[in-house]
Amino acid sequence: MLTEKYITGFCSIDNGIVAKDGVTIFEHQSNLPGLLLAAYQYLQLAYPKFYKMDNLSKLGWLAAEFLLKDTFNKDEYQPEETGVLLANTNSSLDDDIKYWDSIKEVASPSLFVYTLPNIVIGEICIRNHFKGEQAFYIQPEFDTQFIAQQVDYLLDKNIMQACICGWVDVFEQDYKAVLFLVEKKKTEKAVVFSAKRMNEIFNKA
């Protein structure tokens, strides 16, 4: 028997708008660093690590914060039971260019560490104490069918009990993040998890 799986929440950051479950919760039209800072301030958190992150990590980290805020009950899962599977098209190229510029003077280890796309997963895991499965894939466009297969495998086989999956992409002023929380429980707003449903939500964002 395959397990019933639901999208119990989703969050997008795109075009200056932060939306959760399709509802705009915050809007700030400026350049990307301005948006990221304003979104962070909106959350009223004290998390100094945020300021050290590159834009890709900030974007993905913020999307996860808005996604999980108020609705995700961490106590329902062991740290090892939540996985994070993400994809994008530009890898870490936004930070790669900044790192390469830095080496003309002195190579910056704090920029170099972000020259890997999976660091954003590390930042989300550190913040939320997630110790489960994780993977970062590079795709020309968000391949919802592939991501859904991977999530299905992990949840159907009870390797994970919950997964955050989605798309986090940044290059210069172009950006888009859409994250989905997939769980085995049916909540009030939950919709059945599928590639098709992820696609619909992704394209509306």
Partner 1 sequence: MSSINEINEPDVFVVADNILSPLGKTTAENFAKLRENISGIKQHTNVAISPLPFFASLFDKDEQFVQADEHNYTKFEQLLIASIADALNGSGVDVRDKKTVLVISSTKGNISLLENEAITDELKERISLSTSAKLVAEHFGFQNQPIVVSNACISGVLGVITAARLLRSNQYESAVVAGADVISKFIMSGFESFKALSSGPCKPFDKEHDGLNLGEGAGTIILSTNHKYAQNIKVKGGSVSNDANHISGPSRTGQELAGAIMNALAEANFTANDIDFISAHGTATVYNDEMEANAIAISEFQKVPLNSLKGFYGHTLGAAGLIESIISIQSLKQALVIPTIGFTEAADPEKVKVCAAPTRLKANNFLKTASGFGGCNAAVIFGK
Tokens representing 24 are 């705009």
Cβ contact 67:25 at 8 Å = no
Nearest CB to partner 1, comparing residues 42 and 137: 137
Q: Which stretch binds partner 1 (CB under 8 A): 33-41, 84-92, 177-185, 196-204?
A: 84-92
User: What's 155-177 look like in SS3?
Assistant: HHCCCCCEEEEEEEEEECCEEEE
Return the residues of window 148-187 that contact partner 1 according to CB under 8 A: 149-150, 152-153, 156-159, 171
Q: Which stretch binds partner 1 (CB under 8 A): 30-38, 40-48, 94-102, 187-195?
A: 94-102
Instruction: Answer yes or no whether residue 50 interacts with partner 1 by CB under 8 A.
Output: no
Instruction: Answer yes or no whether residue 196 interacts with partner 1 by CB under 8 A.
Output: no
Nearest partner of 201 among 138, 147, 159, 153, judged by Cα:
147
Q: Which stretch binds partner 1 (CB under 8 A): 30-38, 60-68, 87-95, 193-201?
A: 87-95
CB atoms within 10 A of CB 9: 23
* 20/10 Cα distance (integer angstroms): 6
Minimum CB separation of residue 29 from partner 1 in Å reads: 25
Q: Which stretch binds partner 1 (CB under 8 A): 11-19, 21-29, 76-84, 182-190?
A: 76-84
Report the chain's C-alpha Rg in angstroms. 16
Tokens representing 134 are 């994780």
Residue 10 forms beta bridges with which residues? Answer: 180
> Rounded to the nearest 10 degrees, what angle do helices 55-68 and 32-43 cross at?
30
Q: Which positions from 108 to 127 touch partner 1 by CB under 8 A, shown as an x/- string?
A: xx--xx-xxxxx-xxx-xx-
Which residues in this chain contact partner 1 in the complex, by CB under 8 A? 1, 79-80, 84, 89-91, 93, 96-97, 99-100, 103, 106-109, 112-113, 115-119, 121-123, 125-126, 128-140, 143, 146, 149-150, 152-153, 156-159, 171
